[in-house]
Amino acid sequence: MRRLRGRHVFAVLLLLLGVLVVREVTCGRWPRGDVAMPPVEAGPIEVVRAYVAALDKHDVDTANALSTPQHSDRNPWLSNTSSITDLEVREPIPDSDGGMELGMTESVFVGVTFDLDMCDWDGSMQEGETPWGYRVGRDRATGRWLVFSEGVV
């Protein structure tokens, strides 16, 4: 009887460990895949699509490569996002004064909508359908479009 109880305890502990591992993988502690970098000549829409895909997959390298250093240093999306799905991207709108202080030659605002599922809801974001937007600028040095700001539309 005692051996049977010990096996049950072991099975329950193993199940709990499995649940914790699944949660860690889906909640940004480990990457869920690599996202291909768009080519340098890719436009703002393609960059935003790749950036959001990188956030969804917790691909830190790609997300950081597609954003300015000032923006990538404070990216909570990479640690608190369970999934970002159903991405809809709108046409860019010129952003006349955005990014100039960061060395951008031009910038645009790209509005999006996506379905957000967070790991630890803290009240700062709404889960489910989320209207959002990215300010994207073309870097003087590389010519690549980079995300430098984002927020609620």
pLDDT tens figures, 121-144: 666 777 789 999 999 999 777 789
Residue 12 lies in a domain: no
Q: pLDDT class for 11, splitting at 50, 70, 90?
A: very low
Q: Does residue 5 sit within a domain?
A: no
Predicted confidence at residue 33, as pLDDT, reads 86
Is 13 within a domain?
A: no
Do the domain assignments include residue 4?
no
Query: 84 vs 2, which has greater pLDDT?
Result: 84
Is residue 20 included in any domain, yes or no?
A: no
Degrees to nearest 5, angle at CA 125 with 92 and 150? 30
Q: Is the pLDDT of residue 3 over 80?
A: no
Q: Determine the structural domain holding residue 42 and report its residue range.
A: 31-152
Report whether pLDDT(83) > 80.
Answer: yes
CATH number of the CATH domain containing 59: 3.10.450.50
Any domain includes 8: no
Q: What is the mean pLDDT of the chain?
A: 80
**How many separate domains does the chain show?**
1
DSSP code, position 120: S
Which of 96 and 5 is assigned the larger pLDDT?
96
pLDDT number for residue 12? 44
Evaluate whether residue 3 is within a structural domain.
no
pLDDT in tens, 102-126: 888 899 999 999 998 888 766 677 7
Residue 2, exposed/middle/buried by CB under 10 A (0-12, 13-18, 19+)?
exposed
pLDDT of residue 74: 62
User: Would residue 26 count as lying in a domain?
Assistant: no
- Which residues touch 93 (CB under 8 Å, ≥6 apart)? 108, 109, 110, 111
